[in-house]
Amino acid sequence: MNYFNYFTEIEDAFIRRRGKHLLLSPIDWALIEGWQKMGVPLHVVIRGIETVFDNFDANPRPRTIKSLMFCREEIEARFQEWLASQAGRSVEAEGEEARPGFTIEAIREHIERAAAALDNVKSQGLREACERASARLRILAGEVTSDFETVDKALSDIEEFLDEAMLSDRDNSHLKSIEAEVKTQLKAYKKEMAKESYENTFRLMLLKRLREEHGVPRLGLFYL
């Protein structure tokens, strides 16, 4: 399952239980991104959402559930339970689960599209980094094999290289302005989040803004 489907399935489940159309916030987006990076299975997220709403419906409160943040603790607790249940599974079984129907041709096209997008990034401060990343992607596209885990790791390494380039490229005052906006968005939730969770969410939201500004694509196979 690609990231678009992972995101939309979670969004649809939340909106369905919410009972009215409600666009997810940047914080919700960052939570989903974080769960995807952690490897939280879709069914664990959906079941967590259902449980939270079931409990809420059984004991209604004046305040309504307006954000996925309300479901975070339940989902992450269920994920820990799921991890414990998987401890005895074989490496072979895990490997089969990690191959969600990708094809070599589809992955090659995804990599080539990403390289072309990097060629079109206009920022002079990112020019060298984008050229290097684009060159590495084109080499990778020519070497794609059925070892999708290795391909995804190579894509993640290139993406991390671009992330660091974006974080170091920005004009100091502009970067601080974006950081301030993200901190404002997270302010109401900071006390409820563990330090590591807060820092991860903050970084994800900041990088999302920078990618949107520059037109830098996501590279991992979840974005195929």
For 35-48, the pLDDT digits (tens) are 888 888 899 999 99
Give the CA angle between residues 69, 75, 78 to the nearest 5°: 160
- pLDDT score for 92: 42
Please name the amino acid found at residue 37: K
Q: Give me the mean pLDDT over the 110-128 stretch.
A: 94
In contact, 112 and 224? CB cutoff 8 Å: no
- pLDDT score for 158: 96
Residues 6+ apart with CB under 8 A from 36: 3, 6, 222
Q: Give me the mean pLDDT over the 47-69 stretch.
A: 85
- pLDDT score for 65: 82
- Ordered by start, the domain boundaries in the chain are 3-88, 104-223
| Residue 58 pLDDT class (50, 70, 90 cuts) | confident
Helix H or strand E segment including 17: helix 3-18
Q: Give me the mean pLDDT over the 73-91 stretch.
A: 76
**What separation in angstroms does the CA of 180 have from each of 26, 65, 67, 214?**
14, 26, 21, 19
For 129-185, the pLDDT digits (tens) are 999 999 999 999 999 988 888 898 999 999 999 999 998 876 667 788 888 998 998
